Structure 1
């Protein structure tokens, strides 16, 4: 899916090779499969769960 390299190519030939490898190895079906139907709702649920977990054991200040 993603093309990952340890560093950016430093020459035109290096860029040509990197782009050729990216085109050769790209799997659009696998990339599409990673896209959620409702990513905003998924992110909101994750954030709510995270805040619940973080605040669960938070100390409560005295109201005095």
Structure 2
């Protein structure tokens, strides 16, 4: 599995990672200095359903 964290207000990054096969698995409340939450995301690599290369996710 691969894990990452991204700011909850970074909607473009959240959509990008979701398109690559990541799903939200948790949150870290007030993780960033500005009080923003961090969204923890995970993708399974061994199932064949893990992240795609960015060129495969683009329309």
- Structure whose alpha-carbon radius of gyration is higher: 1
TM-score of the pair, normalised by structure 2: 0.23
If asked which structure has higher relative contact order (CA below 8 Å, sep 6+), I would say: 2
Q: TM-score, normalised by structure 1?
A: 0.22
